[in-house]
Structure 1
Amino acid sequence: MKILTVADIQELIQVIGLENFFKRVITALEEDFGRWSEFILSPRHGTYYPDGVIELMPCADRQHYAFKYVNGYPGNPLKGKLNVVAIGVLSDADSGYPLMISEMTLLTAFRTAATGVLAAKYLAREDAKTLAIIGTGAQAEFQVLAFAGFFPLEEIRFFDSDPQAMVKFSRNLAEQKFRLIPCDSIVEAVRDADIVITATAAKKRQSLFEIEDIAPGAYILAMGGDSPGKTELSAEFLKQVRLVVEYKPQSLVEGEVQQCEADLIYAELWELVCKNKPGRRNNREITLFDSVGFALEDYSILRVVYELAKEYQLGTESDLIPELNDPKNLFGLLNL
């Protein structure tokens, strides 16, 4: 069985490049959302604690079974720890044998950004040039660079309640071609933006902006809301946009749409990918993708990474699974 560490993912990105990796992941996501009916799907299983949540996210088809262990602890950064950490497993469905255990803290950031771009392919204007991001924490740079690889972005406006997070964000993206514009408020950042990303971590109900703050034709990616009782936009705001989610049974529990009735949702993302429903209808419509993260996305990136790890001979083979001459003689391994 292959084990991929953080160092292995770092090496992989160095070898193939950040933009190429995003393209591989987005292509895989589109392929997998495009064969939605082939998957065995379920909402993630969450165990909630006062300070956060620990979740298991399974997804399977006839070839592979995948799952991710992931947490969400908004208070962790104040303790010097990450808000989100994760590990993932990809297994062979024919034998049930695990093929790979991988770090997924980095990979979760990649696949979350890639999914937002995939939705934007159907919901954003192709000529989008200005992106606003609210929240410049651990996932912010991934989001911006993923979008910059697929849209002609010229200007990035950003705001965070933590000034140091804004400094970090500016430093990490200082060498990019687009202009970085720090803002003093959320409203200043989102005004006239073509793409708006909300990436806050506070575990509470919020209303970051109102519909009059958003330009006609904007695409909004709400990816910060990810648990019951945590939202970034008001129910009234959601009624005034074209609303798309990943998987209704999960989104209605922990997405922005937990505040709404199911019939307010226009579509699940797979319906746009499969052409069952059209995406954006015109250049003035405001569209919103309520992204909470779904196990199919983990499946997609795990299969991509497994293929690349074999191609570039990355990772370590480990004997976590016993190899026996007689499969019935497990006790013989003890050599007693």
Structure 2
Amino acid sequence: MDRMIARLGEVFREGGHGGITPARDGFVRGPGDTAILEWMPHHRPGESITIKTVGYTPSNPAEFRLPTIIGTMTRYDDVTGRLLAVCDGILPTAIRTGAASAIASRLLARPDSRVLGLVGAGAQAVTQAHALSRVFPLERIVVHDIDPEHARSFAERVEFLGLDVKVATVAEIEAEADIICTVTSVAVGDGPVLLGENLRPHVHINAIGADLIGKFEVPRHVLKSAFVTADHRDQSLREGEGQQLADSDLGPDLMELCARPSLAADHRDGITVFDSTGFALEDHVAFDVLLELAAEAGLGDHLQIEQLPEDALNPYAFA
């Protein structure tokens, strides 16, 4: 996590190293329009292309004992088009999402923030707590989930952090937390998940769950009164918390804040919101970090998946 936070912060400060990251695309699948499949590409010209395909299926944990978010990442050589690496997308997605929140919070939250509030206690909540514990002197976590068992089990899942964990109501979280992360699978049209009635005047909010048109977690009146930054402006306006706002309501994006931290510092005593829709540059960096760690630990298998004939003009000349 420390390496992910450092590497992602470095790439954000340097404007993405010249990469090209279009907004993600995909389609709705399954009954009830609640599940989606998306593809998220990042192109680093002359070097490589990373593509993540990710399935979002809110029914997975209860019905199939599978994560809500399942994905796969692939890395291609930009010169030849060859497939270079294939990787699970579940773990790196969770870790890079936590790292992005840590970077945004380090810019916008008070440095002495000690109480973390979590609305939603699923898998993403674990990496949010982990990442924020690496950059703030956290002492306590207050957590809420509409599934009481998820809330009760959270303390055990983050026991490695050594922090006090209390199950709480949303109102209690708003009254106590210096930093709040909303990490829910709220359905389209069912938001927001925050009340916005008891927020501390300096609270920083990391809004993670909005990723569809009509899906949001933070009340509009809170967004209108806050300084709001997005990781990907176009995605925010289309399917994040930004869909409740006009383009002019958004402040500089996270990469600009990383490059010019003074733009963020003046807002620390007021309400701030990071609209984290997640974008493919983050996945590209996460893939880089995992490939480095695999090489250092001697993990991973080298396979030739593509059929590369001895005679490039003869598909039956098997190598």
Same fold at TM > 0.5 = yes
Higher alpha-carbon deviation: 248-257 or 35-44: 35-44
1:147-177 alpha-carbon deviations (Å, 9 max, x no partner): 1111100010011111110122122223532
Asked if the contact 2:116–2:179 (Cα under 8 Å) also holds between the matched residues in 1, the reply is yes
Query: What amino acid maps onto 2:49 in structure 1?
Result: Y
Asked if the contact 2:228–2:272 (Cα under 8 Å) also holds between the matched residues in 1, the reply is yes
Q: TM-score, normalised by structure 1?
A: 0.88
Match of 2:40 in 1: 57
User: What is the alpha-carbon distance in structure 1 between the residues aligned to residue 183 and residue 78 of structure 2?
Assistant: 35
Match of 2:2 in 1: 23
Match of 1:44 in 2: 24
Q: For the structure 1 residues 218 and 262, does the alpha-carbon distance in structure 2 shift closer, same or farther, using more than 3 Å as the test?
A: same
C-alpha RMSD over aligned residues: 1.7
Match of 1:11 in 2: none
Match of 1:272 in 2: 257
Pairwise CA distance, 1:252: 1.0
Asked if the contact 1:196–1:220 (Cα under 8 Å) also holds between the matched residues in 2, the reply is yes
Gaps of at least 5 residues in structure 1 are 1-21
Query: What amino acid maps onto 1:67 in structure 2?
Result: I
Of structures 1 and 2, the one scoring higher in RCO (CA 8 A, sep 6+) is 1
Match of 1:191 in 2: 175
Q: For the structure 1 residues 65 and 129, does the alpha-carbon distance in structure 2 shift closer, same or farther, using more than 3 Å as the test?
A: same
User: What is the alpha-carbon distance in structure 1 between the residues aligned to residue 268 and residue 22 of structure 2?
Assistant: 35
Query: What amino acid maps onto 1:29 in structure 2?
Result: L
User: What is the alpha-carbon distance in structure 2 between the residues aligned to residue 82 and residue 61 of structure 1?
Assistant: 30
Match of 1:70 in 2: 54
User: What is the alpha-carbon distance in structure 2 between the residues aligned to residue 282 and residue 295 of structure 1?
Assistant: 28
Pairwise CA distance, 1:76: 2.1
Match of 2:192 in 1: 207
1:161-202 alpha-carbon deviations (Å, 9 max, x no partner): 11110122122223532211111x111122131110101102
Match of 1:3 in 2: none
SS in 1 for 2:185: coil
Asked if the contact 2:74–2:87 (Cα under 8 Å) also holds between the matched residues in 1, the reply is yes
Asked if the contact 1:210–1:237 (Cα under 8 Å) also holds between the matched residues in 2, the reply is no
Match of 1:90 in 2: 75
1:242 to 227, 250, 253: 227
Query: What amino acid maps onto 2:125 in structure 1?
Result: A
- What is the count of residue pairs matched by the alignment? 312
Match of 2:103 in 1: 118
Query: Is 2:151 the counterpart of 1:172?
Result: no
Pairwise CA distance, 1:74: 1.5
Q: Map 1:249-264; keep pairs closer than 5 Å.
A: 249-264=234-249
Pairwise CA distance, 1:139: 1.3
Same amino acid, percent of matched pairs: 30
Q: For the structure 1 residues 283 and 41, does the alpha-carbon distance in structure 2 shift closer, same or farther, using more than 3 Å as the test?
A: closer
Query: What amino acid maps onto 1:289 in structure 2?
Result: F
Asked if the contact 1:137–1:165 (Cα under 8 Å) also holds between the matched residues in 2, the reply is yes
SS in 2 for 1:88: strand
Runs of 4+ in 1 over 4 A off after TM superposition: none
